[in-house]
Amino acid sequence: MITGKAPPIGTKVIDFELPDESNTAVRFSDIRAGGPVLVLFYPSDFGMLCSIELGEVRDNYERFVEIGVKVIGISTNTYYSHAAWIANMKLPFTLLSDVDGKVAKAFGVLCPEDSWFKGRACRSVFLVSKEGVLVYVWVPEDTHQMPDLGRLIEECRKAVSGSE
C-alpha cells in the first residue's frame, strides 16, 4: 500500500516546517533539538483506527515524557481539523498538518493514488534522534496495521540510552 520506500535506519532525515493545530509554523529541527522525536504518520483525524492508535499513545504519553522522547503526529488533515481532534481526544502532543503530503512523500509513506487512502499519509512510525538520524522505522505493508506500543517504548528507551 505504500507508494515510496521509507528511508533506512541511519538516514539523516529532512528538515521541514509544517503548521501545528494552532496554525503556528513548527520546524522539525527545533522539536528534535530537545531530544529524540517519535513521529507518528496516520491517515485521518477522527478515523477509527487512528483514534485507537493515538489514544493508546495518549494513554501512555507520560512514559514517553519520562524516557525523554517527544511525540508528534503528522497527517494530511488541516490544522483546524487537528485542533478539533486534539480537543475531542484530549491529546497532549502536537499534530502537524501536511496538507499537500510533501513530508509524507519525503518519508516514503504517502498512500498511492489507487488506494482508499489516496493522497493521505499511511500509518507509520519513525524515531528520529536529536541529531536528526533515523534510529527506528515501522512501516507496515497494510496501513490498517497498528504499531506495537511496547516495542515503541522500548525503542525510545534504546534511543535515549544509546544502546542498540
Q: Is residue 56 part of a domain?
A: yes
How many angstroms separate the CA atoms of 61 and 63, rounded? 5
Per the structure, the count of domains in the chain is 1
Does the annotation count 50 as an active-site position? yes
Catalytic residue (one of 50, 111, 122, 156): 50
Q: Is residue 53 part of a domain?
A: yes
Q: Is residue 7 part of a domain?
A: no
Q: Among residues of the chain, what percentage have pLDDT more than 70?
A: 91
Q: Is residue 121 part of a domain?
A: yes
Quick one: pLDDT at residue 113? Answer: 61
Over residues 60-87, the pLDDT tens digits come to 999 999 999 999 999 999 999 999 999 9
Over residues 110-131, the pLDDT tens digits come to 876 656 566 788 889 999 999 9
Q: Is residue 11 part of a domain?
A: no
Q: Is residue 8 part of a domain?
A: no
Of residues 125, 109, 120, 103, the one with CA closest to residue 40: 125
CATH number at residue 38: 3.40.30.10
Quick one: pLDDT at residue 58? Answer: 96
Task: Note down the domain range covering 41.
Answer: 17-158
